[in-house]
């Protein structure tokens, strides 16, 4: 029952980490305001992505490859399908496919699956994956890595891979 008392997830995050997350969201809101006629920048999966980076930085879903590649490829698949077909049924099929495919590919990132549905439901344009998702994930991951090295108390990121040393057996 230890988890009931302390919770399943860490609840203490550096105040600077929260400021970082807020600044990234404000930047997206500004881009939405300035370029609202072009595409959507501030989308709910980005908030989910930041919460994973902040509260679960050592988990597999928070690592750079799943965040960047899982999100971008998912949004690109949704955008590709949207060229021929869109709507709730298309979004459900693409989302279901990615629930199976991303873990097998080693790039499972839940907000990425949600991002695959945006082109199918909201029609943000054919370049959504490359013009919005890829730059945001690159900025989020690279600044998170840099700040984890520069700011005391920031959770270490990315996690250090554990390699087995066959000579130690």
pLDDT tens for residues 51-68?
999 999 999 999 999 999
Q: How many domains does the chain have?
A: 1
8 within some domain: no
30 within some domain: yes
100 within some domain: yes
Q: What is the pLDDT of residues 69-90, one digit of tens each?
A: 999 999 999 999 999 999 999 9
pTM of the model: 0.86
The answer to whether 113 and 98 are in contact (CB under 8 A) is yes
Which residues 6+ apart lie within 8 Å of 79 measured at CB? 119, 126, 127, 128, 129
C-alpha 37/C-alpha 17 separation (Å) is 31
Structural domain boundaries enclosing 98: 13-156
7 within some domain: no
Which of 49, 42, 148, 28 is closest to 108 using CA atoms?
49
38 within some domain: yes
């Amino acid at each position: 029952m230890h988890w009931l008392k302390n919770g399943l997830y860490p609840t203490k995050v550096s105040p600077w980490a929260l400021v970082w997350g807020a600044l990234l969201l404000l930047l997206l809101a500004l881009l939405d305001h300035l370029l609202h006629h072009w595409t959507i920048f501030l989308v709910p999966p980005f908030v989910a992505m930041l919460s994973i980076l902040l509260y679960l930085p050592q988990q597999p879903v928070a690592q750079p490859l799943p965040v960047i590649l899982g999100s971008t490829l998912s949004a690109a698949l949704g955008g590709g399908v949207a060229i021929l077909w869109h709507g709730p049924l298309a979004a459900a099929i693409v989302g279901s496919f990615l629930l199976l495919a991303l873990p097998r590919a080693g790039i499972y990132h839940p907000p990425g699956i949600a991002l695959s549905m945006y082109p199918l439901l909201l029609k943000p344009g054919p370049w959504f994956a490359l013009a919005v998702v890829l730059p945001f994930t690159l900025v989020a991951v690279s600044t998170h890595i840099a700040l984890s090295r520069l700011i005391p108390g920031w959770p270490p990121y990315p996690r250090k891979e554990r390699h087995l040393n066959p000579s130690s057996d």
